[in-house]
Amino acid sequence: MARDGSASQFGGASANGAMVPPGRSNIEDAFQPTILRVWKEMSASYKSQMSRVLRNVRIHREQFMLKFSQKQQSYLTFLHRLD
């Protein structure tokens, strides 16, 4: 519960109107808007960066498998040649 009693244990609005996550009512009212804004920016940034990283990993895996498949085909062609 917030010091002013405005937020429940499940989160809620503080005295200045900022939404406080559950269990985070120990943040001073003056810093809540700044901290919550930075937290939201970081979480959005994390999500977009992880999406980009995982997309790059998927692209790299697909390129690797394509190259590996081409090497297998080349080796099979080599094995089946008529000498």
Stated pTM of the model: 0.52
Tokens of 13: 């609005």
pLDDT band at 16 (very low <50, low <70, confident <90, very high): low
Q: How confident is the model at residue 12 (pLDDT cuts 50, 70, 90)?
A: low
Phi and psi angles of residue 48, each rounded to the nearest 5 degrees, phi first: -70, -40
Look at the chain and report how many structural domains it folds into.
1
- Give domain status of residue 3, yes or no: no
For 44, the token pair is 């959005």
**13 secondary structure, DSSP code:** E
Q: Is the pLDDT of residue 19 over 80?
A: no
Which residue has better confidence, 2 or 78? 78
Domain encompassing residue 52: 12-79
Q: Is there a domain that residue 34 lies in?
A: yes
d(CA 7, CA 27) in angstroms, rounded, equals: 12
Is 2 inside a domain boundary?
no
pLDDT interval class at 10 (50, 70, 90)? very low
Q: Does residue 40 fall inside a structural domain?
A: yes
What pLDDT sits at residue 83? 75
CB 9 within 8 A of CB 1: yes
